[in-house]
Structure 1
Amino acid sequence: MTAYGGDVFDAVILAGGRAERLGGVDKPGLEVGGTPMVGNVAAAAREAGRVVIVGPARAIPGAVFVREDPPGAGPVPALRAGLAEVTAPWVVLLAGDLPFLAPSHLSTLLAHTGAGRGAVAVDGEGREQWLLGVWEAAGLREALAAYEGRSLRGLLAPLVGRRVPLPRQAWFDCDTRDDLEEARNERAG
């Protein structure tokens, strides 16, 4: 896919997890460089037709907020809730704690989709980053309807057309206090 924009893709940002390794705080709401991480992710997806955030409502203009039932049920139910709001043929699935995600990272992923197959980012060690990918919405809906598991990997792996290496800034997330401190220091430096 070479051309993209609001009529081509919507974004679903999962931002309602338990953040157990951070003591249960509102992880996507933590600030890096004066901006909540989920705000940075939403800004990176600014070319999306719709930005759907699965998690508590926040001050992010233009975003649609939904919750999985029950809240905190996990990424598969959260994706199901977010996907219900998607109207575009492609969906960018993102974590809410990516402090350095940029529009160029999403452009790269979108350029690697086609023939109904998705594209998932891989980190420097070749591991898939399931909360940084692009999926055909219709195929994802079909897969979700037939899927009884709880793992994003189990759901998404059969839909992958391309694994796309992206720089560390794209997939770096803040799961621990050390990650958060590193991100804040990098942003300040």
Structure 2
Amino acid sequence: MEFDVVILAGGRSSRLGGVPKAQLAVDGATLLELTLAAVRGARRAVVVGPQVGGLPPEVLGCREDPPFAGPAAAIAAGLDALAGTGNSPAVLTLVLACDMPRVAAAVGTLLAAGEEGRTGVPAGRDGVMAVSSDGRTQPLVGLYRTAALQHAVDDAARRNALEGASVFALLASLELRKVPVPPGSTDDVDTWDDASALGVSDPGLGRSGTERPNSTLEANSEKPG
């Protein structure tokens, strides 16, 4: 099954004192590296966010316009970047935030759900969306029909409704099936307490829990939702 992937890595990370989430690490691998490893079967991948460096040559990079315009605008920028390659889009697009260190298990579950449709379109006319073990819907862990996602983006753009919009608002018109994913696979890092619980550290500090001075940071990580 062919799919493209849009990875969001461009928000302010305010509750981490501006420390970029993409550069936080688990056992020596950054959260961005773990996310890219989870989608290694993708036909094409784009990371939406500030220049983070070290992207594999086959991975695209872009930025939402304006910067910090939110996840809906970031998804739009990612789709534009994929379209700009000149290749026809994959039938499906996987959308992920980069702040979930155990997301590989959730990705596997969504891709399995995508295989259920004989045409490669996931059950649920427009796609599938992860639901955590505690019942939280996770729109930034979703496998969507590319044409439907692009239509939603185009409609929001016509209404000047991308900047600052939530992903739930962007996807409101889509017919989606909620798919339970393995426990912990969508746990994300919003605070230092989250980071500690997930074994995530700031490579500039050692173990998480102590904020670096804001003056030394560029605030550039995405908050899901």
Which category describes the TM-score, using the shorter chain as reference length?
Answer: 0.7 to 0.9
Counterpart contact for 2:97–2:141, Cα < 8 Å: yes
Please list the CA deviations of residues 35-59 of structure 1 after superposition, one character each: whole Å capped at 9, or x if unmatched.
Answer: 1101101110000011110012321
Q: Which amino acid aligns with 1:44?
A: A
> What is aligned with 2:28?
34
Pair 1:165 & 2:165 matched: no
Name the one with the larger helix percent: 1
Equivalent position amino acid for 2:78 in 1: G
Identity %: 40
Aligned-residue CA RMSD (Å)? 1.7
For 2:74, the equivalent position in structure 1 comes to: 78
Task: Please give the TM-score of this superposition, normalised by the length of structure 2.
Answer: 0.74
Return the alpha-carbon distance in structure 2 between the equivalents of residues 64 and 123 of structure 1: 29
Is 1:18 the counterpart of 2:12? The answer is yes
What's the offset of the Cα at 1:16?
A: 0.8
Tell me whether 1:111 sits opposite 2:105 in the alignment: no
State the match for 1:60 in structure 2: 55
1:89 match? 91
Could you report, residue by residue, the CA deviation over 1:126-173 in whole angstroms, capped at 9, with x for unpaired residues? 221011001111111111111225111011133143100001332111
Structure number with the bigger relative contact order (C-alpha 8 A, sep ≥ 6) is: 2
Structure 1: which 4+ aligned runs deviate by more than 6 Å? Answer: none
Structure 2: state its 5+ residue gaps.
83-88, 117-121, 201-225
Between Structure 1 and Structure 2, whose CA radius of gyration is higher?
A: 2
- The answer on whether the counterparts of 1:38 and 1:98 sit within 8 Å (CA) in structure 2 is no
State how many pairs are aligned: 179
